């Protein structure tokens, strides 16, 4: 048997030689170092599916016969039942499963590796497994979006301070704030779906990298495994890990979104804007009064791991020559770290924000803090025909008074601030009631009813659109899941026909 290609060779009938993949170099101090068997537990089930689909195809193409297929497929069932932990030692799960099959049925088991290599095999297994992980993550993101929208709906008119540079900026509503994260998660959904679609392509049949002389049917194995299409060029098929980069990058981007949410909540909890539910908080071992938002600080930190995974992956892949190099084995776990940690962080971050109790009294008191209604007053003047820059100057004068006295400006303060800046007295542009409304945080929010703005009816409109988009996305995730499940049933029934 040659290293990568399982074509029959002169030792095929010799049990001593045929039992183990033709490894001339077994043993030695670097074996454990080179082995991926333990990490490959993650792709154990995927490898069995890939083996089954390959054997079914080889049989349909008359490369192996029905009886041989039946024996191999039966052995694969036994190997599955015994589990990954019962596999013999080997360089990786592919070799170990093949050895386990040969141990059960003898040299005929070696026919399973006809017309393929571990190189196309592992690439197929990673894609097969990653698809499921991406779909699970997508279900989590869709669910999180729904929770955010529901909570936003409940708080469509709860005013709160809005910040830029962590300084009081303009009053907004809690609903507006929460929808801002839902929208980010909607784009995370798009990125994950795109990553799924590019992952869902089959490299199987690429061989070591240079194809095979056997008359294989790559479309058929793709169909049996639920892949949407085949990666045509055999060299590209086995070499590329760009799908890992895209998936890990989508995860790292999602984690970055979550870190911002987590940071907001840490700040808000510190200012008493909300109380984190006990499930997401910890206390101090020494300071009995403390309720710390620890879960959110861990969410914030986990972003570092996801970013690290992406960096590690890209650095591993950089400069790799065509075609297969075993550096690729070291690339894979970076993606698993990201797909495990980020969805867990998502559940915690969104769980924390949607179970928190917003302190409406404090929020209302703070909503107009720092003269955050200033922009609304300038807008009011500009609406009356005063050039915005001039209106800005009027309100900047009032802001200066505010800085000196600490007293939130009244109509009188604004009128005084306008003297010398406007040609005529303030009340010839705007009436007192309108200015007082603009100075009121709730009215200030209501004024900003532009599309996507914080006014309650604008938030309701964004919410309605967001819900439609969420339904579409849920349908997109379900359709992909159904495609995979249909292929699983197909493969199962094809395999059963060899019983
Ligand atoms: N364990 C390897 C991986 O994860 C499988 C392919 C090994 N191929 C080889 N030529 N050594 O990439």
CB 208 within 8 A of CB 95: no
Which of 30, 93, 122, 317 should be mutated for ligand 1, with most atoms under 8 A from CB? 122
Which of 277, 428, 287 has the alpha carbon at shortest distance from 355?
A: 277
Residue 44 domain-assigned (yes or no): yes
Judged against a pLDDT cut of 70, whether residue 2 lies above it is answered with no
Note the pLDDT of residue 21: 52
Higher-confidence residue: 340 or 8? 340
Residue 351 domain-assigned (yes or no): yes
Q: How far is the CA of 460 from the centre of ligand 1 (A)?
A: 53
Q: How far is the CA of 235 from the centre of ligand 1 (A)?
A: 15
Which of 3, 4, 237, 329 should be mutated for ligand 1, with most atoms under 8 A from CB? 329
User: Which residue has the least CA distance to atom 2 on ligand 1?
Assistant: 329
Note the pLDDT of residue 229: 98
Q: How far is the CA of 414 from the centre of ligand 1 (A)?
A: 73
Q: Are residues 342 and 315 in the same domain?
A: yes
* CATH code, domain carrying 94: 1.10.275.10
Judged against a pLDDT cut of 60, whether residue 333 lies above it is answered with yes
Categorize the per-residue pLDDT at 493 as very low, low, confident or very high, splitting at 50, 70 and 90: very high
Q: Are residues 86 and 200 in the same domain?
A: no
pLDDT, tens digit, 9 for 90 and up, residues 301-311: 999 999 999 99
Q: Are residues 266 and 382 in the same domain?
A: no
Categorize the per-residue pLDDT at 23 as very low, low, confident or very high, splitting at 50, 70 and 90: low
Q: Are residues 207 and 288 in the same domain?
A: yes
Which of 35, 89, 118, 210 should be mutated for ligand 1, with most atoms under 8 A from CB? 118
Judged against a pLDDT cut of 80, whether residue 105 lies above it is answered with yes
Residue 156 domain-assigned (yes or no): no
Alpha helices (H) along 12-167: 15-18, 31-34, 44-60, 66-82, 93-105, 118-154
CA dihedral 194, 224, 40, 92 (to 10 degrees): -130
Residue 456 domain-assigned (yes or no): no
Residue 248 domain-assigned (yes or no): yes
Note the pLDDT of residue 137: 98
- Report the half-sphere exposure of 64 (CA within 13 A, side-chain side): 26
User: Which residue has the least CA distance to atom 4 on ligand 1?
Assistant: 329
* CATH code, domain carrying 342: 1.20.200.10
pTM of the model: 0.93
Residue 415 domain-assigned (yes or no): yes
Judged against a pLDDT cut of 80, whether residue 9 lies above it is answered with no
Residue 4 domain-assigned (yes or no): no
Kindly give the number of the ligand 1 atom that is closest to the alpha carbon of 326.
Answer: 12
Helical (H) or strand (E) element with 170: strand 167-173
Q: How far is the CA of 51 from the centre of ligand 1 (A)?
A: 15
Categorize the per-residue pLDDT at 29 as very low, low, confident or very high, splitting at 50, 70 and 90: confident
Categorize the per-residue pLDDT at 290 as very low, low, confident or very high, splitting at 50, 70 and 90: confident
Q: How far is the CA of 13 from the centre of ligand 1 (A)?
A: 26
Judged against a pLDDT cut of 70, whether residue 13 lies above it is answered with no
pLDDT, tens digit, 9 for 90 and up, residues 229-249: 999 999 999 999 999 999 999
Residue 34 domain-assigned (yes or no): yes
- Mean pLDDT (the chain, rounded): 93
274 lies in which domain range?
120-135+175-219+232-365+464-489
pLDDT, tens digit, 9 for 90 and up, residues 339-381: 999 999 999 999 999 999 999 999 999 999 999 999 999 999 9
Domain total in the chain: 3
Q: Are residues 75 and 213 in the same domain?
A: no
Which of 2, 119, 204 should be mutated for ligand 1, with most atoms under 8 A from CB? 119
Q: How far is the CA of 492 from the centre of ligand 1 (A)?
A: 27
Classify 350 as helix, strand or coil.
helix
Q: How far is the CA of 288 from the centre of ligand 1 (A)?
A: 54
CA pseudo-torsion sign 39, 45, 48, 53: negative
Which residue ranges have their beta carbon within 6 Å of ligand 1? 4, 36, 92, 94, 118-119, 122, 324, 326, 328-329
Q: How far is the CA of 324 from the centre of ligand 1 (A)?
A: 8
Q: Are residues 355 and 294 in the same domain?
A: yes
Q: What would the mean pLDDT of 50-71 be, rounded to a whole number?
A: 98
Q: What would the mean pLDDT of 437-444 be, rounded to a whole number?
A: 96
Judged against a pLDDT cut of 70, whether residue 294 lies above it is answered with yes
Q: Are residues 98 and 187 in the same domain?
A: no
Residues with a catalytic annotation lie at 165, 284
User: Which residue has the least CA distance to atom 1 on ligand 1?
Assistant: 92
Q: Are residues 328 and 470 in the same domain?
A: yes
Q: Are residues 270 and 196 in the same domain?
A: yes
Residues 443 and 417: their CA atoms lie apart, in Å, by: 22
Note the pLDDT of residue 22: 60
User: Which residue has the least CA distance to atom 3 on ligand 1?
Assistant: 329
Classify 159 as helix, strand or coil.
strand
Kindly give the number of the ligand 1 atom that is closest to the alpha carbon of 36.
Answer: 1
Q: Are residues 314 and 241 in the same domain?
A: yes
Kindly give the number of the ligand 1 atom that is closest to the alpha carbon of 332.
Answer: 4
Q: Are residues 386 and 472 in the same domain?
A: no
Kindly give the number of the ligand 1 atom that is closest to the alpha carbon of 4.
Answer: 10
Kindly give the number of the ligand 1 atom that is closest to the alpha carbon of 328.
Answer: 12
Judged against a pLDDT cut of 70, whether residue 430 lies above it is answered with yes
Q: Are residues 109 and 125 in the same domain?
A: no
pLDDT, tens digit, 9 for 90 and up, residues 250-289: 999 999 999 999 999 999 999 999 999 999 988 878 888 8
Note the pLDDT of residue 287: 81
CB 315 within 8 A of CB 244: no
Q: Which long-range contacts (CB under 8 A, 24 or more apart) does 407-410 make?
A: 408/368, 408/371, 408/439, 409/371, 409/374, 409/377, 409/439, 410/436, 410/439
């Amino acid at each position: 048997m040659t290293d990568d290609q399982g074509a029959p060779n002169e030792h095929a009938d010799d049990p001593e030689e045929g039992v183990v993949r033709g490894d001339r170099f077994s043993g030695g101090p670097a074996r454990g170092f080179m082995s991926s068997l333990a990490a490959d537990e993650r792709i154990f089930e995927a490898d069995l599916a890939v083996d089954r689909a390959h054997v079914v195809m080889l049989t349909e193409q008359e490369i192996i016969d029905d009886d041989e297929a039946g024996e191999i497929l039966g052995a694969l069932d036994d190997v599955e039942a015994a589990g990954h932990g019962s596999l013999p030692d080997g360089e990786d799960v592919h070799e170990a499963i093949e050895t386990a099959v040969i141990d059960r049925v003898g040299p005929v088991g070696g026919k399973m590796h006809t017309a393929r290599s571990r190189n196309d095999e592992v690439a197929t297994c990673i894609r097969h497994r990653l698809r499921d992980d991406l779909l699970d993550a997508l279900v989590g993101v869709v669910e999180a979006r729904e929770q955010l929208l529901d909570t936003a709906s409940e708080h469509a008119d709860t005013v709160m301070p809005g910040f830029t540079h962590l300084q009081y900026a303009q009053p907004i509503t809690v609903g507006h704030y929460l929808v801002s994260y839902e929208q980010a998660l909607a784009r995370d959904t798009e990125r994950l779906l795109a990553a799924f679609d590019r992952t869902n392509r089959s490299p199987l049949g690429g061989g070591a990298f240079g194809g095979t002389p056997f008359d294989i049917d790559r479309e058929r194995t793709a169909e049996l495994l639920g892949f949407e299409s085949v990666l045509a060029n055999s060299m590209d098929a086995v070499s590329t890990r760009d799908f890992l980069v895209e998936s890990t990058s989508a995860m790292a981007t999602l984690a970055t979104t979550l870190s911002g949410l987590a940071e907001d909540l840490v700040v808000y909890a510190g200012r008493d804007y909300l109380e984190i539910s006990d499930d997401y908080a910890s206390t101090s071992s020494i300071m009995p009064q403390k309720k710390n938002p620890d879960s959110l600080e861990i969410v914030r930190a986990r972003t570092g791991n996801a970013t690290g995974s992406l960096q590690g992956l890209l650095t591993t892949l950089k400069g790799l020559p065509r075609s297969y190099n075993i550096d690729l084995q070291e690339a894979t776990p970076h993606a698993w770290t990201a797909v495990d940690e980020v969805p867990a962080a998502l559940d915690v971050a969104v769980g924390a924000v949607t179970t928190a109790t917003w302190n409406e009294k404090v929020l209302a008191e703070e909503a107009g803090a720092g003269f955050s209604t200033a922009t609304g007053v300038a807008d009011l003047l500009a609406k009356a025909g005063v050039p915005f820059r001039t209106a800005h100057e009027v309100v900047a004068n009032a802001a200066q008074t505010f800085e000196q006295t600490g007293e939130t400006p009244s109509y009188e303060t604004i009128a005084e601030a306008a003297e010398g800046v406007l040609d005529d007295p303030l009340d010839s542009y705007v009436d007192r009631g309108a200015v007082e409304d603009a100075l009121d945080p709730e009215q200030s929010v209501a004024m900003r009813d532009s599309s996507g703005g914080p006014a309650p009816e604008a938030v309701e409109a964004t919410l309605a659109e967001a819900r439609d988009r969420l339904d579409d996305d849920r349908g997109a995730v379900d359709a992909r899941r159904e495609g995979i499940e249909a292929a699983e049933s197909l493969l199962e029934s094809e395999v059963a026909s060899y019983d």
